[in-house]
Structure 1
Amino acid sequence: MSLKNLNASSKIHKQLLNKLRDKRIYKIYSKFENNLNLNNDFTVAVSGGPDSLALAFFSKIYSIKKSLKIKYFLVDHKLRNNSSVEALFVKNLLKDFSIDLDILKWNGKKPKNNIQSLARKKRYNLLINQSKKFKINHILFGHHEDDVYENFLIRLLRGSGLKGIVSLDKTTLINNANILRPLINVEKKDLIYISKKVFNKYVEDPSNEDEIFTRVRVRNLIKNLESEGLDKSKFKLSISNLKSVDQSIQFFCEKNLKENSIISQNKVVLKEEFFNFPQEVLFRSFSKILQLVGKKYFPPRGKKITNILENLQSKITFKSTLGNCVIKKIKKTVIVYKER
């Protein structure tokens, strides 16, 4: 880096650090820093909305303080006509703050149904694969407190189990990549404040107002419930209590996997005792096996897994395929191996 560029970068760094003089911003940043507590290089997922821009700002401050290298990526799904223009706008906006943003593009045929869910999975895939190219295992997302409530209700409406409705947590492991959400305890209104104060602008995604999407309808439902007196602190406490139960179930799930499965390359043998646990523990244990053998980021749909388990428990011999796996039962032994 030339002396001129180095001086310019130092000047921008100073300007960024000066933003922390705002008491409200400093208070939120302190919460972010305590939640992150990371001393390794990491990737930041950016979209252009207020939550991701606040994340970009905080992570830049964090990197300056910790002397860490960060990669910033934005996934252009190309689902809207002006998405590429918006991506370039965000890139140029962040460039003024010494943040170098790379744009990842989702090329190819796009889905007509279940668009947001599939786009979200594609985003994870692109970000994880790109991060691995730089040998980075930590990826930051801008999920915030409001997302926790939305996720809870969406999963509840879909009939998800306990793990599903409390799945949006501070950390998640996907394909050996650590998904980190250091803003998970911060309200969206605070992130909007930060984006306006630091960047003066952010991208408004029109799909966030389109009630064709379940997430938008749920978001509006929460607003209506708030006007009717919804106590978010009690809502948050209930989710916290459910997470505690979830952790207990996860303990027995790991116990079942450790004691009742024999794992080898591309194959897992399940002992008879594997199926003696309560339904939720069994369901999770088997889902983990399918992910491991099938090498999938996400497990198959819950109903399909339930049907397989019912057949395995009721039939003497059984064979089926699911999630890139072949599931085969001979007498009391179940073998799961990768589909060819």
Structure 2
Amino acid sequence: MSPKNLNASNKTHKFLLNQLKDKQTSKIYKKFEENLKLNEDFIVAVSGGPDSLALCFLSKIYSIKKQLKVKYLHVDHKLRNNSTKEAKFVKLLLKKLSTNLEILNWVGKKPKSNTQSIARDKRYALMINKAKKLKINNILLAHHKDDLMENFFIRILRGSGLNGMVSFDQRTNLQNINLIRPLLKFSKKNLEHITKKVFKNYVEDPSNKNEEFKRVKIRNFIKNLELEGLDNDKFSLTIKNLKFANESIKYFVEKNLKDNSTILKINKSVILNKNFFLQPEEVVFRSLTEVLQAVGKKYYPVRGKKIDNLIYRIKNDNSFMSTLGNCVIKKVKNSVLVSKER
């Protein structure tokens, strides 16, 4: 390391250590370190809001202590006129940690509806693509305890099943990249404390106050519920209990896949026997969803209503052939063959 870089590194270390003299900040970092438990290089997704900037600070200390490489990425969606200006501002903020922020640009036609959902998917796609180029398997996301609650109610409004309502886990996998949410045990207030103390400033997304977006409506709905006595601890206990039930179902899904399906190595097709469809309804639904996703090599599962219709046909028709989720599904007598569509 050159003397210039060494000097900059020493200044950064001193700055970070000074921040940890604050008791609340130090307490948050210790809890963060215990939750993360990561010994591989990682990427941090940075929006520029108070949550992601707090994650930048915490992850920077973590990377130094664990001697890990870390890359910071920001996606400029170009959905607002000043988005590029904001991206440059965030890049400037991170220089306080002697950290270089790489800006990924969303190039192409922008959606006129369902904007937030499409932008989220595009953001993940850009970051995952970058992660693969860098050969880094872990991306840290700044979702926190408040987001967990919002996600729960949004899934209820969508008519999600049990798995959907509790799927906001600390670690998930998308396209063989680990998406890690180390802040789920922290409230937004905890994170704002760190960002205000360390960075003094952050980007305020105007869409967070726009009630045209469902997430904002849900956020305001939760605030009203809090006035009526919504308890964070009781909500966490409810999620915990639902996850226990969900894990039980997952056990029987795995058992069904193991006992009642056969993988043909020649063309990687799967044969499902009669007993596969004699299990409880939820077990059959999830099992078939996993088979279609694996065989069809789709990143996202097929929509639930289409799975329901397929199961109905399998149970009621003697023979048929259909396509779904990049798969060809063929029933002959009591067996179902699922193969990749060519």
TM over 0.5: yes
Match of 1:99 in 2: 99
| AA at the equivalent of 2:341 | E
Residues 1:84 and 2:107 are matched in the alignment: no
Unaligned runs of 5+ in 1: none
- Residue 270 of structure 1 deviates from its aligned partner by 1.7
Separation in 2, partners of 1:293, 1:221:
40
The Cα RMSD (Å) is 1.4
Separation in 2, partners of 1:123, 1:261:
36
- 1:54-93 alignment, distance < 5 Å: 54-93=54-93
Match of 2:331 in 1: 329
Separation in 2, partners of 1:162, 1:234:
18
- Residue 294 of structure 1 deviates from its aligned partner by 2.1
Separation in 2, partners of 1:115, 1:269:
39
TM-score by length of 1: 0.96
- 1:210-221 alignment, distance < 5 Å: 210-221=210-221
Match of 1:284 in 2: 286
| AA at the equivalent of 2:302 | P
Separation in 2, partners of 1:28, 1:292:
39
Separation in 1, partners of 2:80, 2:333:
53
| AA at the equivalent of 2:18 | N
- 1:1-340 alignment, distance < 5 Å: 1-263=1-263, 264=265, 266-340=268-342
- Residue 52 of structure 1 deviates from its aligned partner by 0.7
- Residue 322 of structure 1 deviates from its aligned partner by 2.1
Separation in 1, partners of 2:260, 2:138:
31
- The C-alpha deviation readout for 1:112-170, integer Å capped at 9, x for no partner, is 22221222122222212211112211111111000111011000111100000111111
Separation in 2, partners of 1:58, 1:178:
19
- Residue 297 of structure 1 deviates from its aligned partner by 1.9
Judged with a 3 Å threshold, the aligned counterparts in structure 2 of structure 1 residues 299 and 134 are, in CA distance, closer, same or farther, namely same
Number of aligned positions between the proteins: 340
Unaligned runs of 5+ in 2: none
Judged with a 3 Å threshold, the aligned counterparts in structure 2 of structure 1 residues 81 and 266 are, in CA distance, closer, same or farther, namely farther
- Residue 266 of structure 1 deviates from its aligned partner by 4.5
Separation in 1, partners of 2:248, 2:102:
40
- Residue 99 of structure 1 deviates from its aligned partner by 1.5
Deviating more after overlay: 235-244 vs 301-310: 301-310
For 1:96, what is the secondary structure of its paired residue? helix
Percent of aligned pairs sharing the same letter: 63
- The C-alpha deviation readout for 1:48-73, integer Å capped at 9, x for no partner, is 11111111111100000000001111
- Residue 212 of structure 1 deviates from its aligned partner by 0.8
Separation in 2, partners of 1:336, 1:110:
36
Judged with a 3 Å threshold, the aligned counterparts in structure 2 of structure 1 residues 76 and 328 are, in CA distance, closer, same or farther, namely farther
For 1:21, what is the secondary structure of its paired residue? coil
Separation in 2, partners of 1:121, 1:294:
19
Judged with a 3 Å threshold, the aligned counterparts in structure 2 of structure 1 residues 266 and 77 are, in CA distance, closer, same or farther, namely farther
| AA at the equivalent of 1:270 | L
Separation in 2, partners of 1:267, 1:201:
54
Separation in 2, partners of 1:123, 1:143:
14
- The C-alpha deviation readout for 1:298-339, integer Å capped at 9, x for no partner, is 112211221112112211122222222222222222122222
